Every structure is written in structure tokens, then in C-alpha cells.
């Protein structure tokens, strides 16, 4: 360690960005501390994000399969009964085990966990609850929080108007849930409560769900969620909300303007996006400004404009995803240690963990076409033997390749296990694969992944099974 400082590197925030950066920094021999204001490590992802939402999605999927006849189709007759308390208990247990796991990894790697809120005193001094800690480098990994919607006040305790954290903890299944924002959180948590018996209405400002994904995926998503019984109000905005007792009344109007109307619900989920956490960090003390979107800008090495101060994860530009934050954490720690850490931001998969799952990596067809001529291959899951056998007819795989070089530019997929399937597409793209490379890779039969091979074969017009 550098003798003039307490630490070589101090990381602010112990989410997937921060805790991973801390472990890698310690592995590289740097004296490392990580400051976290929550009681437990793991950040948004482990405490109130990825992990608890997946615990509820997984459990509710079992309930739904029993309730909607999918199990009966396979000769398994059960009448499901909901024990919501037990469902919540297994969620909390998953969170406890995984956050505890990070505490174990910190000990194992000799990362000092500093509990409390961190504020900059200067670029090499951070205050944590009155303790002034000096450090050669600081990595800001403070993550993000829910974007508020003016006029719609969230009160998670009352369980009427909630954000994602409140929606994970509802003590009773709502009769009617209005989801404001048809993005990832709205569709995942809306799915949980729909499966458990709620009537779910999604109000989305844009004319399609899931902004950022390929248009074919977005259009198909609307069809699939409607078929599952969700009501979609696209091109619609919420302009206000009043709560009386257990009933919320929302005022809505067409996004383009027009006549207002009202809609009532006993639960409203506000899920219109997340914004970076920089308040109370004392960025003014080090002369660091945020951009128009409140993010901290960095260069390709994750250095900010201030010498010795770095930033990663949800607090910097790019998709707000745990795996993106983790990879940046590793690369940034390596750069702090004088190595060459790189993240290829062109190949970051995104997955929506509904049923079926929606996943993609690389460019959408529209984005790819803006850059030049493309060839596209599509293959329906209906023609995939495993999906067909498992009674999973919905979905397709779409491979987008450069028309001239055949290099794969993007892969999009809807399937029960799309999130697992997309990994091979990301790896192929990371290796600079052509669609032919994928088409000539032997895939095990019968697997859902064969649909990726078939879609790659379809790029040159020669799929076998359609
Ligand atoms: P965070 O995880 O937000 O961690 C930052 C930490 O810093 C927090 O614990 C915070 O308490 C702490 N902190 C902030 N300021 C200070 C300070 N001044 N002093 C001390 N500590 C501070 N992503 C996926 O990839 N897959 C998913 O399935 C997924 N599901 C999600 C579901 C939900 C409901 C939500 C809300 C998010 C989900 N995400 C998912 C997004 C994912 O959680 C984030 O992208 C990820 O957590 C970002 O990691 P991070 O390390 O940048 O920040
Ligand atoms: P989002 O950005 O995915 O979706 C927000 C939606 O709300 C958009 O479709 C937007 O058009 C709409 N919207 C915005 N203002 C509106 C308004 N006033 N009225 C109606 N609709 C409005 O944000 P979301 O779902 O809140 O999630 C936040 C972040 O968390 C995401 O960016 C995602 O990166 C991350 N996340 C990732 C998950 C995953 O990887 N599976 C799961 C959950 C969250």
C-alpha cells in the first residue's frame, strides 16, 4: 500500500459494480475498502432488484403453471393454493444468503467493509460517519434509484402506490394493479401479480412496450402479454393520482394530448425508469459535475475528469444492468492497478425475465440498417422440437448479420429460456462470429438453443426445420 494513504482504493457502493471492483482490486494486491450505507452488501441488485424479483418470478411461475392449465396439459393435476407469506419468506431467504455471501467474499479477499454514507471531503479523502478515510483512488459505484413521477406519490408502507421495492413486498394480491411504464420492471413485476391473480393494466407512454429492444420483439411482446390477460394502454400518459383509503384514482390522457379520463386500482406500480445516485455525495467538493441526465461521465478506462476518481455501473451512462456494472467493476479495478481493463459495450446482453423470456444482444434491426445493408434470419420456437414438446409455442430467434461480411451484428430471442440462450450469441459476437460460424456449430439436440443455429442458417435462406 502507498504509505501516504489509508487505502490504495476506496469504493463507494457495494452493488454489483462496487463489490466486484472491490474483490478484483484486492485480488490484484491493492489495499481496498468498500463503503455501503445499506445494512447488507449487494446493492440494488441483491437487496431489492434482480434477486428478489427473480425469486418472485420463479415462484409465481409455478403457481401460474398449475393455475392456467399448463401442468394439466402434461397430465399433472393440481389445484394451487397460494401461501404468499411462504413465497415472501423464500424471497427473503435468497436475498439473505446471497448478500451474506458477499460479506464472506469480502472477508476472504480482505476487503474492509465500511458501514455508512460516504461523502467526499476532497478527491483523496472520504468522510464516513465522521471518520475521514484517505485513499489514493476512489471508485464511485453509487448506483441508481427509482425515478419519481410528479403527481404520483409513492408510499411503499401503505402498499397502494408503490415502486419496485414496494411491489416486491405486497402483503396481499391486489385486485387490480395499474403499472405505469411498460418497461422491464413493469412487465416483470406486473407478471408476478398477474400470475397470482391480479387484474393488471399497463399504461405506457410510447406506442410499444420495452424501449431499446428490437421492434419485432416489442410487437410480439405486446401480443404475448395481451394473450396472458394483461390490458395494455399504449401511447397513454398518467397525469395525476389521488388516493382515498385503499383506492387510487389515476388521471390518464393520450400521449399526444386529448381528452382525460380516470382509472381506479387498489395498487399502482410506478416503474418509469431509474436515475443515478449522486445526491449527498459531495461531488462539488471535488469539482465533478454530472451530465444532463445526472450521470457521471468517464472515459473508456472509467476515469472521471478528476484525477484518482473513477466511476462505474448505473451512475455512469449505458444500460442499467447488473452484469454491465460487474464487468465495469472488474475492468476499472484492473485499470486502477495499472493493467488494461476493457468492457466491450457493444456486446451487453439484456434479458426480461417474464414468461416467455425476452432477450437480445447487439444492434436492433433498425440500428443495424442505419449502418448498412443487413441479412436477417428468423426461426420460430414453434418449429423447435424441444419448445414444441414442452408446450412452449411462443417466440422466435432473429439473427441480424452484415450483408457483406456476414458478421453477426445482433441476436434477439423470445423463448422460455431466452436469457440462457442469449449467452452463446454474446460469446459468438465477442469472438467476431459470422452467421455461418453459428450455423456450422454443433448444437445439442433437443435444446431450445438449436433455434439460434436454425436462425443463423436462415440468414442464408437454408434452415432445415421450416
Ligand atoms: P447499485 O446496485 O444500485 O448499488 C449501489 C449501492 O451504493 C447501493 O447499495 C447504495 O446503498 C450504495 N450507495 C449509494 N450512495 C452511497 C453513498 N454515498 N455512501 C455509501 N453507499 C452508497 N439488472 C440486471 O442485470 N438483471 C436483472 O434481473 C435486474 N433486475 C432488477 C430488478 C429491479 C426491481 C431493479 C430495481 C433493478 C434490476 N436490475 C437488474 C438492475 C440492477 O439492479 C442494477 O443495474 C445494478 O444493481 C447496478 O449496480 P451498481 O453497482 O451500479 O449500483
Ligand atoms: P425502463 O426504462 O425499462 O421502462 C420505463 C418505461 O416507462 C418506458 O417504457 C417508458 O417509455 C415508460 N414511461 C416513462 N415515463 C412514463 C409516463 N409518465 N407514463 C407512462 N409511461 C412512462 O425502466 P424500469 O422498468 O423502471 O426499469 C429501470 C431499469 O432497471 C431498467 O433500465 C433496467 O435496466 C433495470 N432493470 C433490469 C431488469 C432486467 O435486466 N431484467 C429488471 C428490472 C430492471
pLDDT tens-digit map of 270-303 = 999 999 999 999 999 999 999 999 999 999 999 9
Query: Is pLDDT of 3 > 90?
Result: no
Query: Is pLDDT of 425 > 90?
Result: yes
Cα 344 from Cα 445, distance rounded (Å): 31
Q: For residue 229, how many other CB atoms are within 10 A of its CB?
A: 12
116 CA to middle of ligand 1, Å? Answer: 16
**CB within 6 Å of ligand 2 — which residues?**
149, 180-186, 188, 203-206, 211, 237-238, 271-274, 319-321, 351-353
Binding site, annotated residues: 54, 142-144, 181-188, 204, 273, 314, 320-323
Residue showing cell 417474464: 354
Q: 135 and 10 in contact (C-beta within 8 Å)?
A: yes
pLDDT of residue 1: 55
Q: For residue 155, how many other CB atoms are within 10 A of its CB?
A: 12
The number of the ligand nearest the C-alpha atom of 180 reads 2
pLDDT digit string (tens) for 249-274? 999 999 999 999 999 999 999 999 99
pLDDT of residue 285: 98
Cβ–ligand 1 contact at 44 (below 6 Å) = yes
Q: And the C-alpha cell for 154?
A: 409513492
pLDDT of residue 125: 98
67 CA to middle of ligand 1, Å? Answer: 33
Cβ–ligand 1 contact at 16 (below 6 Å) = yes
Binding site, annotated residues for NAD(+): 181-188, 204, 273
445 in catalytic set? yes
Residue nearest to atom 43 of ligand 1 (CA): 45
Q: And the C-alpha cell for 323?
A: 452484469
- Tell me how far CA of residue 233 lies from CA of 183, 230, 266, 274, 389, in angstroms: 13, 10, 18, 21, 34
Residue count (the chain): 466
Q: Which of 273, 277, 359, 422 to mutate to test the pocket of ligand 2 (most atoms within 8 A of CB)?
A: 273
Cα 289 from Cα 174, distance rounded (Å): 42
Cβ–ligand 1 contact at 50 (below 6 Å) = yes
Cβ–ligand 1 contact at 13 (below 6 Å) = yes
Cα 431 from Cα 424, distance rounded (Å): 11
Cα 263 from Cα 412, distance rounded (Å): 35
Q: Which of 10, 142, 169, 330 to mutate to test the pocket of ligand 1 (most atoms within 8 A of CB)?
A: 142
Cβ–ligand 1 contact at 37 (below 6 Å) = yes
pLDDT digit string (tens) for 329-363? 999 999 999 999 999 999 999 999 999 999 999 99
Average pLDDT, rounded, for the chain: 97
Nearest-atom index, ligand 1, CA of 353: 28
Q: And the C-alpha cell for 30?
A: 491493492
pLDDT of residue 225: 98
The number of the ligand nearest the C-alpha atom of 277 reads 1
Cβ–ligand 1 contact at 33 (below 6 Å) = no
13 CA to middle of ligand 1, Å? Answer: 9
Q: Which of 19, 49, 189 to mutate to test the pocket of ligand 1 (most atoms within 8 A of CB)?
A: 49
Q: What are phi and psi of 461, to 5 degrees?
A: 80, 20
pLDDT of residue 54: 98
Q: What percent of the chain has pLDDT over 90?
A: 99
pTM for this structure? 0.98
Binding site, annotated residues for FAD: 54, 142-144, 314, 320-323
406 CA to middle of ligand 1, Å? Answer: 37
Cα 401 from Cα 62, distance rounded (Å): 37
Segments in 176-214 forming alpha helices (H): 184-195
pLDDT digit string (tens) for 63-86? 999 999 999 999 999 999 999 999
pLDDT digit string (tens) for 107-153? 999 999 999 999 999 999 999 999 999 999 999 999 999 999 999 99
Q: For residue 146, how many other CB atoms are within 10 A of its CB?
A: 20
pLDDT of residue 19: 98
Q: 310 CB contacts (<8 Å, ≥6 apart)?
A: 137, 138, 139, 140, 298, 301, 302, 303, 304, 332, 335, 336
The number of the ligand nearest the C-alpha atom of 58 reads 1
Whether the ω angle into residue 271 lies within 30 degrees of 0, i.e. cis, is no
pLDDT digit string (tens) for 357-372? 999 999 999 999 999 9
Cβ–ligand 1 contact at 435 (below 6 Å) = no
> Across residues 96-102, what is the average pLDDT?
98
Q: For residue 112, how many other CB atoms are within 10 A of its CB?
A: 17
Q: For residue 333, how many other CB atoms are within 10 A of its CB?
A: 29
Q: And the C-alpha cell for 445?
A: 439436440
Query: Is pLDDT of 414 > 80?
Result: yes
pLDDT of residue 175: 98
Q: For residue 56, how many other CB atoms are within 10 A of its CB?
A: 25
* pLDDT band, very low/low/confident/very high, at 2 (cuts 50, 70, 90): low
Query: Is pLDDT of 409 > 80?
Result: yes
Q: 99 CB contacts (<8 Å, ≥6 apart)?
A: 40, 41, 42, 46, 47
Q: What percent of the chain has pLDDT over 70?
A: 99
- Tell me how far CA of residue 306 lies from CA of 14, 203, 408, in angstroms: 22, 42, 38
DSSP letters spanning 341-383: ----TT---EEE-SSSEEEEEE--HHHHHHHS-EEEEEEEGGG
Cβ–ligand 1 contact at 99 (below 6 Å) = no
Cα 194 from Cα 200, distance rounded (Å): 6
Catalytic hit among 117, 391, 445, 465 = 445
Q: Which of 10, 11, 12, 15 to mutate to test the pocket of ligand 1 (most atoms within 8 A of CB)?
A: 15
249 CA to middle of ligand 2, Å? Answer: 22
pLDDT of residue 288: 98
Nearest-atom index, ligand 2, CA of 211: 9
Amino acid at each position: 500500500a502507498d504509505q501516504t494513504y489509508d487505502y490504495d482504493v476506496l469504493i463507494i457502493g457495494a452493488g454489483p459494480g462496487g463489490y466486484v471492483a472491490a474483490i478484483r482490486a484486492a485480488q490484484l494486491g491493492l489495499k481496498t475498502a468498500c463503503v455501503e450505507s445499506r445494512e447488507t452488501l449487494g446493492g440494488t441488485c441483491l437487496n431489492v432488484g434482480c434477486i428478489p424479483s427473480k425469486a418472485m418470478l420463479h415462484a409465481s411461475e409455478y403457481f401460474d403453471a398449475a393455475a392456467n392449465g399448463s401442468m394439466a396439459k402434461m397430465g399433472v393435476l393440481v389445484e394451487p393454493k397460494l401461501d404468499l407469506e411462504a413465497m415472501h419468506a423464500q424471497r427473503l431467504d435468497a436475498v439473505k444468503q446471497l448478500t451474506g455471501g458477499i460479506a464472506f467474499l469480502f472477508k476472504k479477499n480482505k476487503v474492509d467493509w465500511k458501514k455508512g454514507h460516504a461523502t467526499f471531503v476532497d478527491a483523496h479523502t472520504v468522510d464516513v460517519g465522521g471518520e475521514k478515510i484517505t485513499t489514493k483512488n476512489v471508485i464511485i459505484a453509487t448506483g441508481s434509484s427509482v425515478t419519481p413521477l410528479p403527481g404520483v406519490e409513492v408510499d411503499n408502507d401503505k402498499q397502494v402506490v408503490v415502486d419496485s421495492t414496494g411491489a416486491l413486498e405486497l402483503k396481499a394480491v391486489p385486485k387490480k394493479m395499474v403499472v405505469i411504464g411498460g418497461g422491464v420492471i413493469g412487465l416483470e413485476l406486473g407478471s408476478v401479480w398477474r400470475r397470482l391473480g391480479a387484474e393488471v393494466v399497463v399504461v405506457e407512454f410510447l406506442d410499444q412496450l420495452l424501449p431499446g429492444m428490437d421492434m419485432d420483439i416489442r410487437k410480439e411482446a405486446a401480443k404475448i402479454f395481451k394473450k396472458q390477460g394483461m390490458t395494455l394502454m399504449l401511447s397513454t400518459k398518467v397525469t395525476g393520482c389521488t388516493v382515498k383509503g385503499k383506492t387510487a384514482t389515476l388521471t390518464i390522457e393520450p400521449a399526444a394530448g386529448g381528452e382525460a379520463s380516470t382509472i381506479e386500482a387498489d395498487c399502482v406500480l410506478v416503474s418509469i425508469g431509474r436515475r443515478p445516485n449522486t445526491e449527498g455525495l459531495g461531488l462539488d467538493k471535488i469539482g465533478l459535475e454530472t451530465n444532463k441526465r445526472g450521470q457521471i461521465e468517464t472515459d473508456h478506462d472509467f476515469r472521471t475528469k478528476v484525477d484518482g476518481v473513477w466511476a462505474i455501473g448505473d451512475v455512469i451512462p449505458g444500460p442499467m444492468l447488473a452484469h454491465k456494472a460487474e464487468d465495469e467493476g472488474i475492468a476499472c479495478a484492473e485499470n486502477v492497478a495499472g493493467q488494461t481493463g476493457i468492457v466491450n459495450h457493444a456486446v451487453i446482453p439484456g434479458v426480461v425475465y417474464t414468461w416467455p423470456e425476452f432477450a437480445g444482444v447487439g444492434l436492433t434491426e433498425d440500428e443495424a440498417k442505419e449502418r448498412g445493408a443487413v441479412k436477417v434470419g428468423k426461426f420460430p420456437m414453434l418449429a423447435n422440437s424441444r419448445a414444441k414438446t414442452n408446450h412452449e409455442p411462443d417466440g422466435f430467434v432473429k439473427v441480424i448479420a452484415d450483408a457483406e461480411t456476414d458478421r453477426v451484428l445482433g441476436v434477439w430471442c423470445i423463448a422460455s429460456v431466452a436469457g440462457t440462450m442469449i449467452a452463446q450469441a454474446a460469446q459468438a459476437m465477442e469472438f467476431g462470429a459470422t452467421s455461418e460460424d453459428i450455423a456450422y456449430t454443433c448444437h445439442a439436440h433437443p435444446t431450445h438453443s438449436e433455434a439460434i443455429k436454425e436462425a443463423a442458417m436462415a440468414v442464408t435462406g437454408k434452415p432445415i426445420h421450416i
